[in-house]
Structure 1
Amino acid sequence: MNDQHLSGKWIGAYTYGDEYDETVRGKTVDFELNISVENGSIIGECRDSEAAGHFEKPATIEGTVLDNSISFIKRYPYYWQHEKGGQRFLPKLPSQEISYSGRFENDRFEGEWEIVTTLVDAQGEMISYKGFGSWFMVKEKLS
């Protein structure tokens, strides 16, 4: 695949993994990814149906593609986390980095994603939470 084939609009979805609370576990969220690829470097934007009502700006994408492998980091405009009591949005904190990796097979990319959230608890101790899931995307076909 060349840079020109990879650049453009991709349609896909991500699914929350088993370690999430039952209200989110297994939930699938549709997204659109618009990327530009130059010499294997990826930049772009992502809009997903879950975040659309909360952020005015899209998430940003930065990463690489080499042969049939892709990896990129997605960052929302600011901190957003699923918690047992619901979702938490903290505009004063930066977004966590969501790491996506995958392979191109059968005309689509698919793989896994991971998010690590590190916070300080009431006792001043650092605690980390990891979330995982799966994802896929296909290139939008021009009519």
Structure 2
Amino acid sequence: MNDQQLSGKWVGAYSYGADYGEPVKGKTVAFEMEITVVNGIIMGECTDGEATAHFKQPAIIEGSVNDQYISFIKCYPHYWQHEMEGPRFLPKLPSQQINYSGTFVNDRFEGEWEIVTTVMDAQGEAVAYKGVGSWFMKKK
């Protein structure tokens, strides 16, 4: 696919992996992404059925595509994370980076996503939590 074919609106969904607790584990969330691709570099915006109600702006997409392989980072306007008590939104903290990677198969991109959140524990030690899941998207 060339840059022109890749640019435009894409629709898809992401799913939370087994590391997430109930009721998030396995949950699937629809999204729409508008991207522009120039010389394999991706820039764009993403809205999804879970986060859009909490943010006034869409998430930002930046990445690259090379042949059948795509890789991009999604950043929401500020921090939010699924925790045991439910979603936690902290407008004063920056968004974590959600790393997406995948390949073009059967007229769609599909792959995995990963997010790493680092926090300080009561002893002042950094503790990292990793969440993973799957995703797909197809040209609208």
Class of the TM-score when normalised by the shorter of the 2 chains: over 0.9
SS in 2 for 1:132: strand
1:75 equivalent in structure 2: 75
TM-score by length of 2: 0.99
Give, in whole Å, the separation in 1 of the partners of 2:119 and 2:56: 25
When the two structures are superposed, what TM-score results if normalisation uses the length of structure 1?
Answer: 0.97
Question: Which residue in the other structure is 1:116 paired with?
Answer: 116
Using the TM superposition, give the Cα deviation of residue 71 of structure 1 relative to its aligned residue in structure 2, in angstroms.
Answer: 0.2
Q: Which residue of 2 aligns with 1:46?
A: 46
Query: Which AA in structure 2 matches 1:110?
Result: E
Give the percent of matched residue pairs that are identical in Structure 1 and Structure 2: 69
> How much does 1:127 deviate?
0.5
Distance 2:67 2:85 in 1: 42
Write the distance in 2 (CA, Å) between the matches of 1:89 and 1:122.
21
Moved over 3 A (4+): none
- Measure the CA separation in 2 of the matches of 1:130 and 1:74: 15
Unaligned runs of 5+ in 2: none
Per-residue deviation, 1:43: 0.3
Looking at structure 1, the residues matched to 34 and 84 of structure 2 have their Cα atoms a distance apart, in angstroms, of 32
Q: How many aligned residue pairs are there? A: 140
SS in 1 for 2:5: helix
* 2:14 pairs with 1:18: no
User: How many Å separate the matches in 2 of 1:105 and 1:30?
Assistant: 19
What do residues 32-78 of structure 1 show as CA deviations (whole Å, max 9, x unaligned)? 00000000000000000000110000000000000000000000000
Counterpart in the other structure of 1:31: 31
Residues 8-39 of structure 1, C-alpha deviation per residue, up to 9 Å, x if partnerless?
Answer: 00000000000001110000000000000000
- Match for residue 90 of structure 1? 90
Distance 2:21 2:105 in 1: 31
Deviations along 1:93-143, one digit per CA (max 9) or x if unpaired, are 000000000000110000000000001122211000000000000000xxx
Which consecutive unaligned segments of at least 5 residues does structure 1 have? none
